[in-house]
Amino acid sequence: MSRSAHPAGPRHADVLPEGHYSAPPADLNALDPKVWARTVARDEHGVLTVGGIDVKRLAEEFGTPAYVMDEADFRARARAWRTAFGNDADVFYAGKAFLSRAVVRWLHEEGLNLDVCSGGELATALSAGMPADRIAFHGNNKSAAEIERAVRAGVGRIVLDSFQEIVRVAHIAQSLGKRQRVQIRVTVGVEAHTHEFIATAHEDQKFGIPLAGGQAAEAVRRALKLDGLELIGIHSHIGSQIFDMSGFEVAAHRVVGLLRDIRDEHGVELPEIDLGGGLGIAYTSDDDPREPHEIAKALTEIVTRECEAARLSTPRISVEPGRAVVGPTAFTLYEVGTVKPLDGLRTYVSVDGGMSDNIRTALYDAEYTVALASRSSDAEPMLCRVVGKHCESGDIVVRDAFLPGDLAPGDLIAVPATGAYCRSMASNYNHVLRPPVVAVEGGEARVIVRRETEEDLLRLDVG
């Protein structure tokens, strides 16, 4: 996945370089279990089903576009993470990937904790009954009001992101007569994305306090002196959509190095280490993510080894997967509005949503796949680009994909692996209404986030 954001416009209409897209799949009706939620299948008529319900029924009942979430799959993935790390570690689901009150309840029931990074996420978590001590509060610029709310609520930890924040949180906690458990987020000089990682000067970003130049050590010094704070550990998050564990290895090595320095200087062994999130998922069949138990084993081994080498007792590990829990559990269901063949190029398939419900393609050049969902087809594959209804040529949902040549207006198509960072990054661009999230489980479907209405739009616009 390229990280190069670029201006929307002509580039999107260019012919792609040779080799950008692969040959059509052998069977266009096949559903690769790597990219589809677990209960997704085709029924005897070829219609896509999830949780025992076919998508035609979902479209009739809830309309399109809609995010359709497989609750059993969500719970299974949450449980797999929980089980993989066992009782000696904590899994904090990163709410930024997708958060709703139903999701908070599922997480609570499955024994996960929750990472929030804004007052809005905190409010959602608390209103759905997540115990405050199982919430971690993140963010590089938390407002005083947000900090106060988190401290009052009794969140389990606040992750400190700057020198100013160390003082700010200490002051607020003290003025409330509390001692707040905190971690310090450090930047270890590693940035990892997908298949590669770079261990150089990636301190050049807004998050955390650099290890370089003794800055993190100085932050620890200050935090340890403040009565309002109980420093419980060090936090590191190295990137997104990571498949390769070597970035975590370097990060753990450097964080443990800091823990050793802290012990040597202050005589304290901090009890926790948080390695953040960023574990990758399969957006297309080319991606090969690892299972949670493999990740847990690898991370635990890395931290244990590093601590043995530093003669430290192994701290309690925590991780913050967002995408890897929720990403694969949902697909977006769209209705095809127009099918426009462009001779010698490709066919443009316009759907009833677009960059407002999935900004990732435009923002990160993210790759997705798509399948005809309301029926199967034996027609020849045609190279398509799935585009939205927005007034912008960069409004692309799936850049290159093969769909059956008999695709027609009124067909339903589904884009898998849209559970993470699609609804949570959705916008009202062009005053398009944000789609609902429909949870499906055991033959039943229910709305967990309702579709936005024109009244919702107009309510905010006070005239």
> Minimum distance between the CB of residue 380 and ligand LLP, rounded to whole angstroms?
34
First to last CA, the chain: 42
312 binding ligand LLP? (CB under 6 A): no
Is the separation of the CB atoms in 266 and 245 below 8 Å? no
278 binding ligand LLP? (CB under 6 A): yes
> Minimum distance between the CB of residue 442 and ligand LLP, rounded to whole angstroms?
27
> Is position 321 annotated in a ligand binding site?
yes
Cβ closer to ligand LLP: 199 or 420? 420
Cβ closer to ligand LLP: 54 or 146? 146
423 binding ligand LLP? (CB under 6 A): no
> Is position 348 annotated in a ligand binding site?
no
Cβ closer to ligand LLP: 219 or 407? 219
Compute the distance between CA of residue 2 and CA of residue 21 in angstroms, rounded to an integer: 15
User: How many residues line the site for ligand LLP (CB under 6 A)?
Assistant: 20
Cβ closer to ligand LLP: 43 or 291? 291
Q: Tell me which stretch binds ligand LLP (CB under 6 A): 27-35, 52-60, 64-72, 319-327.
A: 319-327
Cβ closer to ligand LLP: 168 or 185? 185
Is the separation of the CB atoms in 302 and 257 below 8 Å? no
Listed residue (158, 319, 147) closest to 231, CA to CA: 158
> Is position 280 annotated in a ligand binding site?
no
279 binding ligand LLP? (CB under 6 A): yes
Listed residue (450, 449, 414, 452) closest to 50, CA to CA: 414
Residues forming beta bridges with residue 196, ordered by sequence position: 193
Neighbours of 194 (CB within 10 A): 16
Angle at 333 between CA 48 and CA 335, to 5 degrees: 100
> Is position 308 annotated in a ligand binding site?
no
360 binding ligand LLP? (CB under 6 A): yes
> Minimum distance between the CB of residue 278 and ligand LLP, rounded to whole angstroms?
4
Listed residue (137, 60, 56, 64) closest to 96, CA to CA: 137
Cβ closer to ligand LLP: 295 or 445? 295
117 is annotated as an active-site residue: no
Active-site hit among 307, 384, 391, 422: 391
299 binding ligand LLP? (CB under 6 A): no
Amino acid at 188: V
Cβ closer to ligand LLP: 72 or 99? 99
> Is position 38 annotated in a ligand binding site?
no
Question: In the window 251-270, what residues touch ligand LLP (CB under 6 A)?
Answer: none
Please state, in angstroms and as integers, the Cα–Cα distance from residue 364 to each residue in 22, 397, 403, 433, following that order. Answer: 20, 12, 23, 23
Compute the distance between CA of residue 336 and CA of residue 352 in angstroms, rounded to an integer: 7
Neighbours of 369 (CB within 10 A): 23
67 binding ligand LLP? (CB under 6 A): no
158 binding ligand LLP? (CB under 6 A): no
> Minimum distance between the CB of residue 208 and ligand LLP, rounded to whole angstroms?
9
Compute the distance between CA of residue 377 and CA of residue 21 in angstroms, rounded to an integer: 22
For the chain, how long is the longest CA-to-CA vector? 72
335 binding ligand LLP? (CB under 6 A): no
**What is residue 428's DSSP assignment?**
-
Listed residue (43, 91, 65, 41) closest to 434, CA to CA: 65
Listed residue (116, 51, 107, 117) closest to 326, CA to CA: 107
Of 62, 331, 402, 421, the one binding ligand LLP by CB under 6 A: 421
397 binding ligand LLP? (CB under 6 A): no
Compute the distance between CA of residue 339 and CA of residue 406 in angstroms, rounded to an integer: 10
237 binding ligand LLP? (CB under 6 A): yes
138 binding ligand LLP? (CB under 6 A): yes
Which residue, chain included where needed, has tokens 């990280």? 3
Of 191, 249, 320, 367, the one binding ligand LLP by CB under 6 A: 320
157 binding ligand LLP? (CB under 6 A): no
Q: Tell me which stretch binds ligand LLP (CB under 6 A): 76-84, 276-284, 426-434, 448-456.
A: 276-284
Compute the distance between CA of residue 361 and CA of residue 355 in angstroms, rounded to an integer: 8
321 binding ligand LLP? (CB under 6 A): yes
Question: In the window 363-392, what residues touch ligand LLP (CB under 6 A)?
Answer: 364
The dihedral built from the CA positions of residue 324, 328, 330 and 331, taken in this order, carries a sign that is positive
Compute the distance between CA of residue 238 and CA of residue 69 in angstroms, rounded to an integer: 28
Is the separation of the CB atoms in 290 and 250 below 8 Å? no
Radius of gyration in angstroms for the set of CA atoms belonging to the chain, rounded to a whole number: 23
323 binding ligand LLP? (CB under 6 A): yes
Of 322, 416, 419, 435, the one binding ligand LLP by CB under 6 A: 322
List the catalytic residues: 391
The binding site for substrate consists of 323, 360, 364, 392, 421
**Contact residues for ligand LLP, defined by CB under 6 A:** 94, 96-97, 115, 138, 237, 240, 276-279, 320-324, 360, 364, 420-421
